């Protein structure tokens, strides 16, 4: 079988499984198992594929047909210009979250030291992106899942950020450094419980449920974090959240009621409300 034939067969199978970008994903999988660049696949299109490569491709193809996320199959994904390990231990870093990083970076100076905390850090992508772009900053991630905390630690280490970061294994309710942080960032679970069943299989069946389910109205984590932050954050510090596309008004109201000011919201590349920043006032 040639590379062209194998990729065509893969494309047909992925289309049959309901994968929208079937040809592109077939090419990704073939490039991954063959060790070829995408341009090489074109030039080698009529070459015969080694049996070992065919077997590896069909294995990955079968996994993708079952709607396992591409990021899990490849083992890595890119986020904010950095490469992260990605597997079932934590929520997959997604492009929509990059606007949350942009929002947070505007809250802290590149020229001054800062302490950043990431609540529910998952893969560590938010904290790592911030530390990579603020070389004088140090950070601490808070993660209740041991599996996710381990993955975050692996990512921080492979990105060369372990010397400026810590991973606190436990809930943010037991975390003690609220008053030290200049910036607290969080992408908490925010999907309403009744909406979980309607999510795409790649999300519903493979992302950790603890990273998705935000309770009856999707706001449980926001209420908890904002309540703790209102009591324990230092004055003048910033709180930055990722939010669901329809949660701007609700989360803004929670922040306002808790006494935060300078509340701003930004949209992602799809035009959906995605990040909220608020400041604990200096009184």
pLDDT at 39: 85
Which residues participate in the annotated binding site?
120-124, 143, 172, 187-190
Average pLDDT, the chain: 96
Contact 261, 275 (CB under 8 A): no
Strand pairing category for 114-119 and 82-85:
unpaired
Confidence band of 283 (pLDDT split at 50, 70, 90): confident
pTM of the model: 0.94
* 63 CA to centre of own chain: 22
How far apart, in Å, are the Cα atoms of 149 and each of 89, 90, 142, 158, 194? 9, 9, 8, 14, 27
Where are any strands of DSSP class E within the chain? 76-79, 82-85, 114-119, 137-143, 165-169, 183-186, 238-242, 261-267, 273-279
Domain residue spans of the chain: 3-66, 77-280
> For residue 32, what are the contacts with CB-CB under 8 A and spacing of at least 6?
60, 73, 74
d(CA 276, CA 198): 25
Beta bridge partner(s), residue 275: 242, 266
Q: List, for residues 73-82, the tens digit of each pLDDT value.
A: 999 999 999 9
* 200 CA to centre of own chain: 16
Q: Which helix (H) or strand (E) holds 193?
A: none
pLDDT at 38: 83
CA angle 148, 106, 167 (to 5 degrees): 20
Which residues participate in the annotated binding site for S-adenosyl-L-methionine?
120-124, 143, 172, 187
Q: List, for residues 157-199, the tens digit of each pLDDT value.
A: 999 999 999 999 999 999 999 999 999 999 999 999 999 999 9
Task: Please give the CATH topology (third level) of the domain spanning 77-280.
Answer: Rossmann fold (3.40.50)
Which residues participate in the annotated binding site for substrate?
187-190
d(CA 86, CA 77): 6
């Amino acid at each position: 079988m040639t590379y062209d034939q194998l990729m065509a067969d893969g494309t047909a199978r992925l289309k049959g499984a309901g994968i929208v970008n079937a040809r592109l994903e077939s090419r990704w999988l073939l490039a991954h198992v063959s060790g070829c660049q995408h341009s090489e696949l074109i030039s080698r299109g009529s070459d015969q594929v080694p049996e070992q490569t065919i077997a590896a491709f069909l294995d990955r193809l079968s996994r993708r047909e079952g709607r396992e996320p591409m990021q899990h199959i490849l083992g890595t994904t890119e986020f904010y210009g950095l490469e992260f390990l990605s597997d079932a231990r934590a929520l997959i870093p997604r492009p929509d979250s990059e606007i949350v990083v942009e929002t947070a970076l505007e809250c802290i100076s590149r020229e001054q030291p800062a302490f950043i905390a990431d609540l529910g850090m998952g893969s560590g992508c938010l904290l790592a992106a911030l530390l990579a772009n603020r070389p004088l900053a140090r950070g601490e991630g808070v993660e209740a899942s041991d599996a996710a905390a381990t993955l975050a630690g692996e990512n921080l280490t492979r990105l060369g950020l372990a010397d400026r970061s810590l991973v606190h294994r436990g809930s943010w309710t037991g975390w003690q450094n609220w008053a030290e942080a200049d910036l607290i960032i969080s992408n908490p679970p925010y999907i309403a419980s009744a909406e979980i069943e309607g999510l795409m299989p790649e999300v519903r069946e493979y992302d950790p449920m603890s990273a998705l389910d935000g309770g009856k109205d999707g706001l449980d984590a926001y209420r908890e974090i904002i309540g703790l932050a209102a009591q324990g954050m230092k004055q003048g510090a910033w709180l930055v959240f990722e939010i669901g596309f329809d949660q701007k008004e609700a989360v803004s109201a929670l922040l306002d009621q808790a006494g935060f000011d300078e509340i701003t919201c930004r949209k992602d590349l799809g035009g959906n409300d995605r990040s909220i920043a608020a400041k604990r006032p200096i009184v």
